[in-house]
Amino acid sequence: MADIKDDATSLLSKPWRNFFDKFAEIDQLKNSKWKEIHQLAYICRRYEQYYGRKFSFSLKNAPSKCPEIVLVKKMCAMLGTTNARTIREYIDWIFDEKIIPKDMKIRSLAFFMTPGLGNEFFIKRVEKNKIDKTTELPNEYKEVVDSLGLPVSTYGDLAFAKCALEEAPNSESRAPYRQLFDKLAAMGFDSMVLNGLR
């Protein structure tokens, strides 16, 4: 329906109006805090940006159980993750690599669950995101590092910090690094990616 209020939304019941009002939250919420409704809102935004019109909703069932939310939940299950960053990356990949270059006309969110797309996405993601010691940290991780005033800018720096923590986990001087890893984990960071960098 809409991620911007318009005359048509005023015709809907209050639960549906509240549902669509939540779409605007993607502009304020950090991606790591997104829930299914925000992922749906993001798909709708990308849809409207490309096609120049709003995505048409079925308006069946209660908003929290509408077919579009159910499809977003199935998409997450297909991807095997609830990590909001990965899901947003998948949505962008679908639009940037599949829909836009091929000028596809999708009619349903079921397209996001096309057999094989999830596997292809993860294969391409691994190739694109190959990490070595000199790979710079993403901006959202750098913000956490900067907030703690730590001299960490690459995955190699993080791997070194992880080793230092493992050697002396209760060291008071290494407490800021414990905080760093706790905050990064809350954002969905998997420290297993550092194992091959030692």
Shared domain check, 56 and 23: yes
Give the domain extent around 176. 139-197
23 domain residue, yes or no: yes
Domain's final residue, options 128, 163, 179: 128
> Mind giving me the DSSP string for the chain?
--SS--TGGGGS-HHHHHHHHGGGGGGTS-GGG--HHHHHHHHHHHHHHHHSSPPPP---S-GGGSHHHHHHHHHHHHHT---HHHHHHHHHHIIIIIITTTT----SGGGGG-TTHHHHHHHHHHHHT---TTPBPPHHHHHHHHHHT----BHHHHHHHHHHHHH-TT-GGGHHHHHHHHHHHHTT--GGGGGGG-
Whether residue 182 sits in one domain with residue 99: no
pLDDT at 5: 46
Question: Does some domain include residue 2?
Answer: no
Query: Which pLDDT does position 101 carry in this prediction?
Result: 95
- pLDDT, residue 1, reads 40
Residue 3 lies inside a defined structural domain of this protein: no
- Give residue-wise pLDDT tens across range 27-48: 999 998 999 999 999 999 999 9
Which among 128, 151, 175 is the end of a domain?
128
Is residue 86 domain-shared with residue 177, that is, in the same domain? no
Instruction: Give the chain's domain count.
Output: 2
**13 and 57 in one domain?**
yes
Question: Has residue 116 been placed in a domain?
Answer: yes
Same domain membership, residue 143 and residue 121:
no
- What pLDDT shows up at residue 47? 96
Low-confidence ranges of the chain (pLDDT < 50): 1-5
Listed residues 70, 103, 128: the one ending a domain: 128
